Structure 1
Amino acid sequence: MHPFLSRHLVYPLQERLLKRPTFPYLAALERSQWLSREELERLQMRKLAALLSLANAHCPWHARRLAEAGLGAITPNSELTRADLERIPTMDKADAQLHGEQMRWTGVPGGAFAYNTGGSSGQPLRFYYGRLRQAADAASRIRARRWWGVNVGQREVYLWGSPVELNKTDRIKTIRDHLLNQVVLNAFDMSQANMDTYLVVLERYDPVCLYGYASSVALLAAHAKERQRIPHLRSLKVVCTTGEPLYPHQRDIISEVFSVPVANEFGSRDSGFIGHETPAGQMLAMSESIFIEVLNPQGHPVGPNEIGEAVITGLCSDAQPFIRYHTGDTLSLSHEVCREGRGLHVIDQVVGRSTDFVVKSDGTVMHALSVIYILRAIEGVAEFKIVQHQLDLIEIQIVPNPRWQETNKLAIVQAFKRRLGDSIAVDIHLVDKIPPEASGKHRYVVSHVTLPVVTFVGHSQQQNTDAR
C-alpha cells in the first residue's frame, strides 16, 4: 500500500470504525507539545479534574477514597493543584487486582475492554481500558515517531511477541498489516534459523522503522554480527526499543549493526505510553496523557535527578482510572527543558526492570515474556518468580491470591511444557513472599543457562550470573 493512502485513508478509517479518537487526539498533541511548561501543567490539572469527576460519578472504589480525601465534590471545572492530587491515597497492582470491578466505568463511551499486563513486574494484572486510552497511546506513539521522521503508513517491522498480535493470523489481520505496511516477527522464538530468516525479511522489506523489545533487537543485532550478515537497509531511519531498560552495550551493538540511531521508549500496558527519546538525546514524557510523580519509599516526592518509584496517574484512563498508581518502575525526572523547544517534561533516566531470556532444550532462545504470559493469565497468581536452573529445569515461585485453585498447577505445567518442550521439569512452590535479590532489585525471570550466542555481551559474557 502506498504510504499516503495508508496514512490518510486506511488507518483513519480503521480508527473511525473502532470509535477511537486517535487522529483528533494526535492533532491536539501536535499543538500542545509546543505549550510552555506552565501552560502544559495547567492542561494536566484540567484533565485531572475531568478524570477525578468521572471517577467520583462512575467508579465506587475511587469515589470512596476521593471522599475520604475531601475531594468528593470535584467537577470537570474544578481548579486543582498538585497538592490536591497528593491528598489522594496511592494505589498498587494488588488494589487493581482485587477491586478492579469497583474501579470500572461500565458505561464508558465506546465500551470497556479487558486486558492483561505483561507481568514482568511479577504481578500479572487484568484491567479494563477504553477507546480514549487506546487513542492516547497510539497518537502519542505516532507523534514520537514523527520526531524521528517516521510517519503513519511507512514500512515498519515489529520484533514483537504478544499473543494478541501473534495469534490473529486470520485473513483480516493479514490484510490489515499489509494495508498499514507492517510486518510482525516473533520475538518469542529467537532460534538461530529464525534470526537468519528475520535478517532476510528486514533486507527485502527495507523498513523505515524497526520496533521491538530492547533485548530481542540486541540479540538479533548480535546474531547478525556473529554471522557477518549485516543487513543492507537503505530506508531505515531509527530503531525504536521498548519493553525493558535499554543498556548501553545494547544500544551500541544495535546502532553498529543497523547503522541508525536507537530511540528507547518507556511505558507499560497498565500505565500506558509514558516516554520516548528524541533525536536531541532526551526522553520526553507524554505529559498530556500521563501525570508522573517520583516518590521515595516513604511516599514523599524526590528532587530533580533523584531516583524513586514512578507513580502514575493516567489522565486518559477513563474506563478504569489509574490514579496515583505504583508502577514498580524506578526513574528520575530532570530539571532540564526540552532542547527542541517542547514543554513536555524530561525524564532523566529510567532504571526500570530487566527481563531475562529462557532457553529451550534445543537451544532456541526465547524472550522471558513468552513464559510470563502463561502466568499472567492465571487469576489466582498475585506474584511470581521464574528461575531457569538448567535447560530441563524451571522453578516457579508463586504467591497466591484468594482466587488460587490447585488445578492451576497442572495448567501451568502443561503450558510451560508446550512452550519449552516436554522434557522440561517444572517445580511449582507456593510461598508467602518473594524476597528481592541481595542487590535490592526484584528479578522476576532469572536464567542460569548460558545463551548460545557468545558475542551477546548483555547476557552470555556475564555467563548469566546475577550481575544485574
Structure 2
Amino acid sequence: MASLYTKLVAHTLFPLHERLMQRPTFGYVDELEKSQWLSRAGVEQLQMHKLKLLLQSAEQHSPWHAERIHAAGLEPRSDAPLTLEALRRLPTMTKQDATRNVEQLVWRDIPGGAFKYNTGGSSGQPLIFHYGRLRQASDAAGRIRARRWWGVEVGDREVYLWGAPVELNKTGHIKALRDRLLNQLVLNAFDMSAANMDAYIEAIRRFQPKCIYGYASSLALLAAHARERSTRLRLPSLKVVCTTGEPLYPHQRKLIEETFGVPAANEFGSRDIGFTAHETPDGQMLLMSESIILEVLDTQGNPVAPGESGEAVMTGLCSHAQPFIRYRTGDVVRYANDTCKAGRGLHVIGEVVGRTTDFVVRSDGTIMHALAVIYVLRATEGIDEFKFIQHSIQDVEILVVRNPDWTEQSRDKAVSGIQARLGNNVRIELRLVDSIPPEVSGKYRYVVSHVPLQSGLDSALRESPPTMQPEKI
C-alpha cells in the first residue's frame, strides 16, 4: 500500500514540477497507456501521423531539413498519407550533419524553449544539440509507462546510480533537493571507492526503494562488491533493477539478479534521440514506437532482411526543437520476428549491440564509470572523435580527431578536465590523429583501461563466452 508521502509525490509534487517546467508529461503518459494497446497497424498509422507533423514543423522552422524535404519530393502539407517508403527518399542524417548545421536546424522560438545539450555517450563523437519540452516529456512519460510494466508507480522510491560533476554547484544542490522531494536517491557512479560502495549499500537498505536504476556496468560493479562483502541486497520493497547506458551482458544480469533478488530489466536510449526501448517482464525489449521510428539498415543504407542486424537509424517524432530525421545512431540492432507477448502493438527489438566501455581507476583506488571522462571530452570544443586509453594508474593517452573549432585552449581544457577527475599527478599525452580505427574485434571502444580492478570486482566486467551471448538484452 502506497504511503501518504508517495501519494503526495505521485498526485501533487511531481505533476506540479512538470507543469512548472512546461512539460506535458502526464498528458503524454495517458496517451501512451492507451496507444500501446493499438494493433501493430494502428501503432504504425499513429507513427505516420506524427511523422507528418514533424516534417511540417521541420519544413517551416529548420531550413536544413526543409531543403532535403523538398529535394526528396515530399509534401508534408498535402492530404496524401505518408509512408515509410516515402520517408526513405530522404537521405540519412549523421552526427556531423547535426553538429555542423545547428543554426539551420534549431527552432529557437519553439513554445517552451529550445535547450542546449552536449552529448557523446560512449560513441567518442561529441554532439551539441537542442531539445524541447515535448522531447523531455516523451522521455519521462516513456519511463513512467515502462516502470508500470514492473509494478513501479510514479512517486515510488527509486535509487539512481548515476554520474555527477566533480563538484556540486548551486544548481546541483537544488537538483539534489528536488530528487529527495520526489522520492529519488542519487548515488554517484563516478566515485565508486570501496568505502563509498559500502555506504551505497547501506543507503539503499535504509531507503528501501521499489526500483534501482543506473549504468549496467556500475550496477554490476556494486553487485560484485556486495558479493565480495558476502552481502545481499534482497529488499522486501524492491521490484526491479533497471539498467541503462550500455549492453547488459548475461554474466552481469546473473550477478545483479542474484545480489538483489529481483529481475534486471535493460533500457536502450541516448541523449540525442531519447528514451528508446525497455525490457518487459516477459523478457522482450519494446520500442517506444509512439515517439520513435526505427529503421534497421545495412552498410549501403538499405533495409536489412527481417531478423537481421544493422545500424539503428531513428526518427525522433518528438524532436521538433531540433529534428532528428533518419538519424544514424551508430548502434547495431536487430528487430525480432515477434509481437509483444502481453498484446501490445509496440515493435519488439531482438538485440541491441552497443559500444563497449571500461571503468577507469584513480590512484586512490576509486573506480569511475567511463562516462566520467567522456563528459569532460565531449564538452571540449573542437573534438570530432576521441579515444581515451588508461595505460596505468598515472599514464593516460588521449587520441583526438579535431575539427576547425580546435585550439590550444581546447587541449588545455581537455587535459585539466581529465586531471580534475583522475588527479593532478596523472601524466596525459594528447595526440591529434586523422582517424580512430576500431579494435581488432571490430568493436569501437572509446574508453579503454588496462588498470585491473581489485580482486573480485573484475567479474563485473568479464563478458560471457560467445555461446552465451544474449538473444535479447
- Identify the TM-score tier after normalising by the shorter chain: over 0.9
Looking at structure 2, the residues matched to 411 and 453 of structure 1 have their Cα atoms a distance apart, in angstroms, of: 34
Alignment of 1:19 with 2:22, yes or no, is: yes
Distance 1:461 1:140, change over 3 A: closer
Looking at structure 2, the residues matched to 288 and 460 of structure 1 have their Cα atoms a distance apart, in angstroms, of: 36
Looking at structure 2, the residues matched to 372 and 210 of structure 1 have their Cα atoms a distance apart, in angstroms, of: 23
Give 1:110 shift.
Answer: 0.6
Instruction: Map 1:149-160 onto structure 2 (within 5 A).
Output: 149-160=151-162
Give 1:273 shift.
Answer: 0.7
Looking at structure 1, the residues matched to 172 and 100 of structure 2 have their Cα atoms a distance apart, in angstroms, of: 35
Distance 1:422 1:163, change over 3 A: closer
Looking at structure 1, the residues matched to 230 and 132 of structure 2 have their Cα atoms a distance apart, in angstroms, of: 46
Give 1:406 shift.
Answer: 1.6
Match of 2:341 in 1: 339
- CA deviation string 1:423-443 (max 9, x = no partner): 111100001111111122111
Match of 1:90 in 2: 92
> Which of 406, 410, 413 pairs up with 2:412?
410
Looking at structure 1, the residues matched to 168 and 35 of structure 2 have their Cα atoms a distance apart, in angstroms, of: 35
Looking at structure 1, the residues matched to 430 and 85 of structure 2 have their Cα atoms a distance apart, in angstroms, of: 45
Instruction: Map 1:209-224 onto structure 2 (within 5 A).
Output: 209-224=211-226
Looking at structure 2, the residues matched to 171 and 189 of structure 1 have their Cα atoms a distance apart, in angstroms, of: 17
Match of 1:134 in 2: 136
SS across alignment from 2:458 = coil
Give 1:217 shift.
Answer: 0.2
Match of 1:60 in 2: 63
> Which of 326, 329, 335 pairs up with 2:328?
326
> Which of 271, 274, 290 pairs up with 2:273?
271
Contact 1:455 1:461 in 2 (8 A): no
Give 1:456 shift.
Answer: 3.2
Looking at structure 1, the residues matched to 303 and 102 of structure 2 have their Cα atoms a distance apart, in angstroms, of: 27
Distance 1:219 1:169, change over 3 A: farther
Amino acid of the residue matched to residue 41 of structure 1? E
Match of 1:4 in 2: 7
- CA deviation string 1:370-394 (max 9, x = no partner): 0000011012000000111111111
Alignment of 1:32 with 2:29, yes or no, is: no
- CA deviation string 1:430-460 (max 9, x = no partner): 0111111112211111111111142432436
Match of 2:115 in 1: 113
Contact 2:356 2:443 in 1 (8 A): no
Match of 2:249 in 1: 247
Amino acid of the residue matched to residue 301 of structure 1? P
**TM-score after normalising by structure 1:** 0.96
Structure 2, gaps ≥5 residues long:
465-473
Give 1:416 shift.
Answer: 1.1
SS across alignment from 2:440 = coil
> Which of 50, 58, 71 pairs up with 1:47?
50
Distance 1:270 1:461, change over 3 A: closer
> Which of 215, 235, 238 pairs up with 1:236?
238
Count of equivalent residues:
461
Looking at structure 2, the residues matched to 351 and 204 of structure 1 have their Cα atoms a distance apart, in angstroms, of: 36
Looking at structure 2, the residues matched to 159 and 129 of structure 1 have their Cα atoms a distance apart, in angstroms, of: 24
SS across alignment from 1:2 = helix
Distance 1:366 1:141, change over 3 A: same
> Which of 203, 206, 209 pairs up with 2:205?
203
- CA deviation string 1:310-364 (max 9, x = no partner): 0000000000000000001111001200000000000001011121100111111
Match of 2:196 in 1: 194
Contact 1:309 1:327 in 2 (8 A): yes
Distance 1:32 1:379, change over 3 A: same
Looking at structure 1, the residues matched to 416 and 285 of structure 2 have their Cα atoms a distance apart, in angstroms, of: 41
> Which of 284, 287, 305 pairs up with 2:286?
284
Instruction: Map 1:343-358 onto structure 2 (within 5 A).
Output: 343-358=345-360
Distance 1:339 1:130, change over 3 A: same
Looking at structure 2, the residues matched to 45 and 461 of structure 1 have their Cα atoms a distance apart, in angstroms, of: 40
Give 1:176 shift.
Answer: 1.9
**RMSD over equivalenced CA pairs, Å:** 1.6
Deviating runs (4+, > 6 A) in structure 1? none
Give 1:286 shift.
Answer: 0.1
Q: Judge which range, 215-224 or 408-417, deviates more.
A: 408-417
Amino acid of the residue matched to residue 282 of structure 1? Q
Structure 1, gaps ≥5 residues long:
463-468
Amino acid of the residue matched to residue 351 of structure 2? Q
Contact 2:221 2:457 in 1 (8 A): no
Looking at structure 2, the residues matched to 313 and 138 of structure 1 have their Cα atoms a distance apart, in angstroms, of: 18
Looking at structure 2, the residues matched to 312 and 235 of structure 1 have their Cα atoms a distance apart, in angstroms, of: 37
- Give aligned-pair identity as a percent: 62
Looking at structure 2, the residues matched to 218 and 117 of structure 1 have their Cα atoms a distance apart, in angstroms, of: 24
Alignment of 1:459 with 2:449, yes or no, is: no
Looking at structure 2, the residues matched to 220 and 200 of structure 1 have their Cα atoms a distance apart, in angstroms, of: 12
